[in-house]
């Protein structure tokens, strides 16, 4: 037992978080900013923040993750970080030459009250921002929300800074991608192309966090949404925003600032959410859903009906982010699995309401919680009380998996100990087949490993 101190008696906690199912805002802001072409994220705080975020993202992607920091010391904390940021902006443009610096704040700079807008304004006034270059800034205090909040704030900041309605409507749809993998971003673009819809996907970390090995390092890889594209989003016909937590803010900003109406859908994970996404695309793009899409859907349904017996009734514990957990849990319910325990450290009242809608009738025994103390320790305690057949979540689940001997599918952030997530999508119908393949793989492996010899099956 590695987690030897976890017992099944749940004691109510109001202050202590143990084994969190979330992390802090700035890493989300950093990830979002990486999805912009030619952008260097900048962490306005102690250099440890930047180091931690880069390390975590690097471990998840096994790819270079570049970002700079204001390197606060005690002095800056007392006198404010303006001098540090101004110097940083100067150095960054001089040495690393990005097109954009995307500054996010930290708990430190927020606590001391640094006004990023004012500082960036001063940098501009002081001529520290070269012609044609940009500094975007977002307030991302670590003590509010979670990493997802930081992502949403940075996405909103870019829209606020760049998108502009010139009153010339462009026949394109904005896609706010939500916190998904580079592979997922590729897949969303592929689906949209299949629908014959011209779109701008933002942010877009494909070709940024899955770059080829070529013998040459490129600090600003070819991927990422371009400035021109983000600007043009203000002239689009419609926005399809994926994920209430990740994308709603930016969608509202686009609506308010540029009068681009939006439709809010879930991140297209699983069957029903992809159905809704495809329908939202169809409405937004004013196109019929082509047969090729229906065929991909049909292949997914085919796998579901073929493999139903291995999925049916399986009890699942999940942890992660609301925008991915909601459609994923719905998918599990769709295919007769029983998502019985769900935690997310990310707060937001909609979580409980929507989970109740999805689970209420079908899985009345389900326990779910988000926000403070909705952590992996609590989930593990629930599991100790009554076990599950499957775990789905980030790498930290491996301790529970090993201690309890429960099959484990890695999904979410961060995945620190396996590869694949960067390359193979889990969104869309095809992505849902991958989710099925992964779940079936571990469930069937378990069956193969534990079946008595006489009932070891050749055909399954």
- Which residues contact a copy of itself by CB under 8 A? 1-2, 59, 62-63, 207, 210-214, 294-299, 301-307, 395-396, 398-399, 402, 416-420, 423-424, 430, 433-434, 436-437, 440-441, 444, 448-449, 453, 456-460
Q: Which of residues 387-426 bind other proteins (CB under 8 A)?
A: 396, 399
Residue 54 CB, shortest distance to a copy of itself, in Å, is 14
When CB distances are held under 5 to 8 angstroms depending on the partner's kind, the choice from other proteins, a copy of itself, none that residue 210 binds is a copy of itself
Q: Where are the beta strands (DSSP E) in 311-407?
A: 315-319, 338-344, 367-370, 390-393
Peptide bond into 227 cis (omega under 30): no
| Closer residue to other proteins, CB minimum distance, 193 or 437 | 193
CB of 25 to other proteins, least distance (A): 8
Six-digit token string for 384? 């100790």
Segment lying near other proteins (by CB under 8 A), choices 176-184, 243-251, 274-282, 405-413? 274-282
Let me know: does 339 contact 364? Beta carbons within 8 Å. Answer: no
Among 118, 166, 288, 292, binds other proteins (CB under 8 A): 288
Distance CA 450, CA 399 (A): 20
In angstroms, what is the minimal distance from the CB of 413 to a copy of itself? 14
Q: Are 62 and 102 in contact (CB under 8 A)?
A: no
Using the contact rule CB under 8 A, the part of the chain among 11-19, 31-39, 254-262, 352-360 near other proteins is 11-19
Would you count residue 196 as binding other proteins (CB under 8 A)? yes
Q: Are the beta carbons of 305 and 364 closer than 8 angstroms? A: no
For residue 408, give the nearest of 418, 400, 420, 416 by alpha carbon.
400
Q: From residue 144 to residue 163, what is the string marking binding to other proteins with x (rule CB under 8 A)?
A: x-x-----------------
- The answer to whether 140 contacts other proteins (rule: CB under 8 A) is no
Q: Say whether the peptide bond before residue 306 is cis (omega within 30 degrees of 0).
A: no
**For residue 190, how many other CB atoms are within 10 A of its CB?**
13
Q: Please give the structure tokens belonging to residue 407.
A: 């099959």
Q: How far is CA 271 from the centre of its chain?
A: 19
DSSP tag of 216: S
Residues of this chain, 17-76, that bind other proteins according to CB under 8 A: 17-20, 22-27, 42, 45-49, 51-56, 58-59, 62-76
């Amino acid at each position: 037992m590695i987690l030897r101190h976890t017992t099944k008696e749940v004691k109510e906690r109001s202050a202590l978080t143990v084994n969190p199912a979330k992390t802090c805002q700035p890493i989300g802001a950093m990830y979002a900013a990486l999805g912009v072409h030619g952008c260097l994220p900048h962490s306005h705080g102690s250099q440890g923040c930047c180091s931690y975020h880069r390390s975590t993202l690097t471990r998840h992607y096994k790819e270079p993750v570049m970002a700079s920091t204001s390197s606060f010391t005690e002095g800056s904390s007392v006198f404010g970080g303006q001098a540090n940021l101004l110097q940083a902006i100067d150095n960054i443009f001089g040495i690393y030459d990005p097109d954009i610096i995307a500054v996010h704040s930290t708990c430190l700079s927020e606590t001391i009250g640094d006004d990023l807008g004012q500082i960036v304004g001063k940098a501009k006034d002081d001529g520290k921002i070269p012609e044609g270059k940009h500094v975007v800034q977002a307030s991302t205090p670590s003590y509010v929300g979670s990493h997802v909040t930081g992502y949403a704030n940075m996405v909103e900041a870019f829209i606020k800074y760049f998108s502009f309605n010139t009153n010339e409507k462009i026949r394109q749809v904005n896609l706010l991608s939500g916190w998904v993998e580079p592979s997922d971003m590729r897949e969303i673009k592929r689906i949209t192309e299949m629908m014959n819809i011209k779109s701008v996907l933002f942010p877009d970390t494909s070709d940024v966090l899955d770059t080829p090995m070529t013998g040459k390092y490129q600090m600003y890889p070819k991927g990422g949404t371009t400035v021109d594209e983000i600007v043009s989003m203000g002239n689009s016909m419609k926005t399809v925003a994926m994920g209430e937590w990740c994308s709603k803010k930016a969608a509202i900003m686009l609506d308010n600032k540029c009068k681009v109406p939006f439709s809010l859908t879930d991140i297209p994970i699983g069957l029903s959410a992809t159905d809704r996404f495809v329908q939202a695309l169809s409405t937004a793009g004013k196109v019929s859903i082509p047969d090729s899409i229906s065929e991909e859907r049909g292949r997914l349904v085919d796998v579901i009906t073929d493999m139903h017996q291995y999925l049916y009734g399986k009890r699942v514990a999940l942890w992660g982010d609301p925008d991915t957990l909601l459609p994923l849990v719905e998918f599990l319910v769709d295919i007769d699995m029983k998502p019985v325990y769900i935690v997310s450290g990310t707060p937001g009242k909609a979580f409980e309401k929507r989970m109740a809608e999805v689970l209420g009738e079908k899985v009345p025994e389900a326990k779910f919680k988000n926000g403070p103390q909705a952590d992996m320790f609590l989930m593990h305690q629930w599991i100790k009380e009554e076990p599950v057949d499957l775990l789905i979540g980030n790498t930290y689940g491996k301790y529970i998996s090993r201690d309890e001997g429960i099959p484990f599918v890695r999904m979410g952030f961060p995945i620190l100990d396996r590869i694949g997530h960067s390359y193979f999508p889990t969104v869309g119908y095809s992505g849902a087949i991958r989710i099925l393949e992964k779940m079936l793989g571990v469930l069937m492996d378990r069956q193969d490993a534990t079946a008595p010899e006489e009932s070891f099956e050749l055909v399954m």
